[in-house]
Every structure is written in C-alpha cells, then in structure tokens.
Amino acid sequence: MDVNQLVQIYERFETDIQYQEQRTQLMNPVSYIMGLKSKRIRPLLVLVGYSCYGTDVTRVLDAAFGIEIFHNFTLMHDDIMDEASLRRGMPATHIRYGINEAIISGDAMSIMAYDYIMKNCNDEHLREVLNIFNKTSLDICVGQQMDMEFEKCASVESEQYIEMIRLKTAVFLGMALQIGARIGGASSDEAQSIFEYGQSLGIAFQIQDDLLDLIGDQDKVGKVKGGDLIRNKKTFLVCKAHELADQTQRSELDHFMSDVDMNPIDKVEGITSIFEKIDLFKIVQSEIDSYFDKANSILKSLNLNATRNELLHTITQMIRDRKS
C-alpha cells in the first residue's frame, strides 16, 4: 500500500466522522478548524508508522484522527496566543467565533483526542501509547512556553531555537510515527528509532515553515507574508541572521525587530534586505537539508523491507518538496 492509498483511506474515514450534534455550539469551532484544508501530515504519519510493521491499517484510523484533533487543538490555542488572524488562508477560529469560544472548544478537542486514541487500542499497547502521547503533549507545552519567552528576549541563539522547535513541533511528527509503529507491532527500540526519524523530519519541517513564511506563496501558505516578522517572532532566520550579521547589520535587525509601530511592509522589506546581504536563504536551506539527510540516515538503520522503506522515503520527499 502506497502513501496515496493511505491518504485516501484516512480521508474517507475522516469524512464519515460525525461530531456530537447535541453539543452544536461547542462543536461548531471544532468542525470549522477541522474542515480547513490541510495536508493531514500527522495522521498520515500514524498510518505510515503502522504500515511499516502491521498489516491492517484500519486498526489505527481512530488513533490517527485523535492525533489530528490534538494538532488542531494546539493550532487553535496557538493562534490566540500569537494573535494570528489567518489559519490556512481563512479567518482563525477565534476571529470567526470569539476567543472564549475557541478556548473552550480547544479544551474539548484535547479531551476528544484521548477518546479517539484509546479506541481500538488493545490492552497490550494502551499504557505505552498513552505514555508516549502524554510525554509528547507536555513537551509541546514546554516548546510553546519557550516560544513565548523568546518573544521577550533581545536575541535567541539558533541552538536554543532548534531545541524549542524540537519540543513544539518535531516531537509531534515523531510521536505520530511512533504510536503507529508500536500499535503495528514494532518493538520499543524500533518505535524509538522511527520516532527519531520523524523528529529530524519535524525540525526540517519547521525551519522550512519559517522560510516559507517569508518567501512562500501567500495564497498557498495561508498566512500573511512575513507574518512572523511582523509579530517580531524569533524565527530560525532571525536567530541565524543575528549570529551571522556584522555589527551594523545586527543593529539594523534589532531596530526592525523592536519597532512595534513600523509599517509592516517596510519592516518585512527591511529585514529581508538584511537576510539577502548575508546570503541567509542559502544558509537556511543548507540547514534544512542537513536534517533531511539525518532523517534518511536513520531510515537506513531501520532495516525495513523495500516496500516499507519506500513509504518513508515518499514521506520524506513529500515534506521536502512542499510549498505551503
């Protein structure tokens, strides 16, 4: 079974999900954010992780959906904390329904995630799956807290930033693969290795996301171009530029990043100009490539058969080639 077939199986399953109609007001924001177009990478990774070791992929469809619900719960709350107006090219949930409504519906989603992850998970794997999910969920919270703290710092080292995105984003991709693999019959060591593969993919994914925020197609990315810079967020590009720039360029960068009243277009253009002078985009792309290479190195150590190996190669390439 290839990646496209797994995507189709999951999409059919999610289409058939009926939210609890008796709680319509609570579920409206849930239905809204879950209905926004996305690649569904995380549930796909659950199915791929399972398929590397198991045979009946329908066993993990509920868990995959639970992972996607939890992901969207984190996005719903992140958008509130980031004061983001758009999500996937549409009004963010709190803009559409209100902040309080988005908070409580997000809380409901976190509970729903557990419900789906526990469905069809036999006793042999349930405790370990929940332990993996709980640990990763807490890591994500730590990563989000670090991200918020970085906004108060004058500068952040790129190594610190990598650790933040490892916790906030990368472990989530690793967890999706790990849970799928464990339910599929992988040993704990095998599941840990596939987690590390996913974690490397996740770091590459997030640095790539930072890059796309600035140079990607706004319609495809679904966010305001340079939105992270406008909000003075310490992206990998900003952290790396601060390390590579000379004293004059660093002072200019600090000025742009600290001026909250500057015209957004002028801010983005000014920062982009500094990035171009130090050839930052090429340097960042090299960093992204290094994490994809690390993922491929781990993949070779998994000793999967050719068909299962190709599944993970396809996932790597799909993430590597994305434009949004």
Q: 């109609």: which residue's tokens?
A: 21
3-state secondary structure of 225: coil
Model confidence at 221, pLDDT cuts 50, 70, 90, reads low
pLDDT of residue 323: 78
**What is the pLDDT averaged over residues 143-156?**
91
Instruction: Let me know how long the chain is.
Output: 324
pLDDT at 89 over 80: yes
3-state secondary structure of 87: strand
Per-residue model confidence as pLDDT tens digits over 278-294 = 999 999 999 999 999 99
Per-residue model confidence as pLDDT tens digits over 159-199 = 999 999 999 999 999 999 999 999 999 999 999 999 999 99
CATH of the domain at 183: 1.10.600.10
pLDDT of residue 322: 86
What domain count does the chain have? Answer: 1
**What is the pLDDT averaged over residues 143-151?**
93
Q: Are 214 and 229 in contact (CB under 8 A)?
A: yes
pLDDT of residue 219: 60
Quote the domain boundaries for residue 209: 3-320
pLDDT of residue 48: 98
Other Cβ atoms within 10 Å of 206 Cβ, number? 24
Cα 272 to the center of its chain, rounded Å: 24
Per-residue model confidence as pLDDT tens digits over 1-17 = 899 999 999 999 998 87
Per-residue model confidence as pLDDT tens digits over 223-279 = 678 988 988 889 999 999 999 999 999 999 999 998 888 999 999 999 999 999 999
pLDDT at 216 over 80: no
DSSP secondary structure string for all residues of 44-82: HHHHHHHHTT-S-GGGGHHHHHHHHHHHHHHHHHHHHHH
Can you read off the two tokens belonging to residue 259? 């001026």
